[in-house]
């Protein structure tokens, strides 16, 4: 899996309002789309219309935990070590494993 692109099109939610809204209101995500929520150590899927995969990441870009196919109206645990979260379409992050280190690359 080294250097494999998992999500090509990611939005950043790094303000209070963007984090509050997250993926609410979207009717779907494409398999290459995702959302980074920063800072974040816990999420909810209230008002969501579809299942998602969720990856909690620490300051060393290591995966703290993963939720695969998380349904609407659920709440995650709080992960003290998590600094941000990546959310993607259900199944799109299933290749990732707890303890893996990720890399985020900005396209120019």
Domain boundaries, the chain: 9-76
What pLDDT is attached to residue 54? 97
What pLDDT is attached to residue 1? 56
Helix (H, G, I), strand (E, B) or coil at 22: coil
What pLDDT is attached to residue 106? 75
Residue 92: closest CA among 37, 28, 17, 2: 28
Strand partners, 57: 63, 84
Q: What are phi and psi of 96, to 5 degrees?
A: -75, 150
For the beta carbon of residue 8, count every other beta carbon within 10 angstroms: 11
Tens digit of pLDDT at every position of the chain (108 positions)? 577 778 988 999 999 999 988 898 889 999 999 999 999 999 999 999 999 999 999 999 999 999 999 999 999 999 999 999 999 999 999 999 999 999 888 775
What pLDDT is attached to residue 108? 58
């Amino acid at each position: 899996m080294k250097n494999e692109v998992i999500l090509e099109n990611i939005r950043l939610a790094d303000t209070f309002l963007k984090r509050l809204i997250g993926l609410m209101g979207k009717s779907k995500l494409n398999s290459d789309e995702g959302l980074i929520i920063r800072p974040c150590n816990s999420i909810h899927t209230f008002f969501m219309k579809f299942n998602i995969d969720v990856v909690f990441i620490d300051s060393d870009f290591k995966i703290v935990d993963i939720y695969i196919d998380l349904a609407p109206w659920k709440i995650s645990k709080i992960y003290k070590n998590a600094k941000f979260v990546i959310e993607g379409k259900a199944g799109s992050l299933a290749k990732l494993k707890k303890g893996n280190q990720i890399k985020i690359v900005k396209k120019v």
